[in-house]
């Protein structure tokens, strides 16, 4: 997927593939050859510095020069790796997104039946949605989306491909098995993902309230999964192999 430049900032000439792990030593950007181990360490140092500065003082207040000063290296290296401040912002966000995909939708989880997998997937996604660093980056993305709309559009497409579509495939695979009937996998995926963006996230984005404890996230995940299925199927669903009204 290419990432076109805006009038405000020059972005990287060609964004790396959205399915390529951003921390892979073999990953390439802008048609450049694979990075050496030293080059990857330098890239990671710049990413970590950018992440700290973006979450600590905001995107607008952070310059590429500050990122280089804190992360090490040179401006020319930063431009070669990321193209611009917007390019490194993109890399920071996608690295976080890839992390949640690997945690919440791991192959081992997607091989489990719904009664086991879905509460755990929901709990991971809920934890991600209320993470302090994720919330800080989300605020910056919302604030800057008018200036770099291509980034928002690209991220929307990435989440659709790497979160929504795997969940739809999971629901299709398990439909009509273990008392788990799904008439519309796309609708159920939409309901499930909306449930995982909890009201806690919206309050925390505004700086209201405290982050829920892990036990509360687990309770919300379980209740949300049951409510999601009840809404989608018109009857209560507790889990695999249990019918309506089971406990």
What number is the average pLDDT over the span 75-79?
Answer: 93
The pLDDT tens digits of the residues spanning 118-129 come to 999 999 999 988
> Is pLDDT above 70 for 98?
yes
The C-alpha atoms of residue 231 and residue 238 are separated, in whole angstroms, by: 13
The pTM of the whole model exceeds 0.75: no
If one compares 198 and 219, the residue with the highest pLDDT of the two is 219
Q: What is the pLDDT of residue 36?
A: 78
Q: Please tell me the predicted confidence (pLDDT) of residue 50.
A: 97
Tokens of 80: 């070669």
Q: In degrees rounded to 5, what are phi and psi of residue 244?
A: -60, 135
- CB of 88 closer than 8 Å to CB of 9: no
Average pLDDT over residues 28-38: 55
Query: In this model, does residue 57 exceed pLDDT 80?
Result: yes
Contact 226, 237 (CB under 8 A): yes
Name the one residue in this structure whose structure tokens are 């030293």: 38
What's residue 200's pLDDT?
A: 73
Per-residue pLDDT for 30 more than 60? Answer: no
């Amino acid at each position: 997927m290419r990432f076109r430049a805006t009038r405000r900032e020059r972005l990287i000439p060609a964004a790396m593939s959205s399915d390529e792990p951003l921390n892979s030593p073999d990953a390439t950007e802008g048609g450049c050859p694979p990075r050496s181990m030293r080059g990857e360490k330098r890239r990671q140092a710049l990413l970590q510095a950018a992440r700290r500065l973006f979450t600590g003082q905001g995107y607008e207040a952070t310059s590429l020069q500050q990122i280089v000063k804190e992360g090490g290296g040179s401006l020319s290296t930063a431009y070669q790796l990321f193209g611009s401040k917007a390019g490194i912002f993109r890399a920071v966000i996608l690295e976080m997104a890839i992390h949640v995909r690997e945690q919440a939708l791991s192959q081992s989880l997607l091989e489990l039946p719904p009664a086991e997998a879905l509460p755990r997937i929901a709990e991971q996604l809920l934890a991600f949605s209320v993470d302090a660093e994720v919330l800080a980056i989300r605020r910056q993305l919302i604030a800057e989306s008018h200036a770099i709309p291509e980034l928002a559009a690209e991220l929307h497409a990435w989440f659709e491909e790497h979160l929504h579509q795997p969940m739809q495939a999971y629901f299709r695979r398990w439909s009509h098995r273990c008392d788990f009937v799904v008439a519309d996998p796309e609708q159920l995926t939409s309901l499930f993902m909306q449930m995982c963006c909890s009201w806690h996230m919206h309050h925390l984005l505004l700086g209201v309230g405290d982050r829920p404890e892990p036990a509360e996230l687990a309770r919300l995940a379980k209740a949300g999964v049951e409510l999601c299925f009840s809404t989608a199927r018109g009857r209560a669903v507790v889990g695999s192999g249990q019918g309506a009204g089971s406990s």
